[in-house]
Amino acid sequence: MCNRTSYVLDAAIGLEDQGAAATQGWFRVDPGGCATVIGGEVPAGDLLLHARVLPLYAVPDLTPANGTPMCVSDKSFIHSDATQCRGAGARKVPFVAVKPRQDGGRAVVDVADSSDFDRAAAAVAGEQRLLTMAGYDALPVDGVAGAGTKAALARFLADHHGVAADNGPPWDALVAAAEQGPGIGLVWCNDSSHKVLAAWGETTGGGKYGAKPGAKGVVTRGWYDVAPHTCASAIPTPLEGRRTLYSYGVAVGPDGKPLRKAGKPLAWGGDTRLCTRSAMFEIADQTNCAARGLDVTGFAALDAKGKAGVTVHFR
């Protein structure tokens, strides 16, 4: 299995044959790399795949949600009957059918996304993405190893003594650094024990960035579900060109209603008053919210100028 994306992947394989189904995982596949997932001859039957992006990226999995549901577990697993999920953490996720291509006597499955990198470009793009997430500007994530990418890697290696890149990108060290870094895009991390509904906004008019809060040039969007002890991405791409963002989150109970603490909603916001509504929304006009039947919500302003990513923690 070969990874032509800019993300470190965990992959699981499935096999269906004459009504029986089995799954096995997880196989880590670095950007531009390959991993052997079946040794010897490929068994008869239909081969299926589920590829998940490491949680640190806070982006959706690559496998379409309408695939065939089969069992996986949180850690390494083999499910000989993938229709019945047994054991702690076992659950069903979608798998998609794949047809391997032949390459030098091997059956190869390529995992790609809309970027359509070849393996060499995927390795560079994966390196660029993790370096930037770790705080080393290697933008853009384009798969081209230019001077900026090489300088960012040199700074990373100088700051992490003992880490070498002689045999390709030091993926383990890059992943560890990215987990501690500022990340890419706008990411919410819910450190609480409650579900959080989140919304965000950004300036879009007035000379692109000249709009002030309350003007028509600010757009707000919501709501996004952020489960307890997980992260979710509102903007999955680097914050190039953006200067000010706005964020709001509110904890909700099983009934979907806001939880209260000391008589007030348990929320994470600020002093910037912008429009929202109870249902899902995208609102471009921030004037006269109440008069238009909309809610007025206090957002926190986030400084995104010159940053690849901003992470907001709900604690």
Q: What is the pLDDT of residues 157-179, one digit of tens each?
A: 999 988 988 888 899 999 999 88
With 70 as the cut, is the pLDDT of residue 87 above it?
Answer: yes
Q: What confidence score (pLDDT) does residue 216 get?
A: 52
With 80 as the cut, is the pLDDT of residue 61 above it?
Answer: no
Total count of domains within the chain? 3
Do residues 230 and 268 both lie within one domain?
yes
Do residues 192 and 301 both lie within one domain?
yes
SS3 content of the chain, % helix, strand, coil (to 5): 15, 40, 45
Domain that holds residue 161: 119-180
Q: How many angstroms separate the CA atoms of 5 and 116, rounded?
A: 7
- The last residue of one of the domains, among 89, 111, 133, is 111
Confidence of residue 207 (pLDDT cuts 50, 70, 90): very low
Q: In angstroms, how far apart are the furthest CA atoms of the chain?
A: 69
In the numeric block, the tokens 């008053």 are attached to 273
Do residues 254 and 306 both lie within one domain?
yes
Do residues 124 and 61 both lie within one domain?
no
Evaluate if pTM is beyond 0.75.
no
Q: How many angstroms separate the CA atoms of 201 and 269, rounded?
A: 12
Do residues 138 and 151 both lie within one domain?
yes
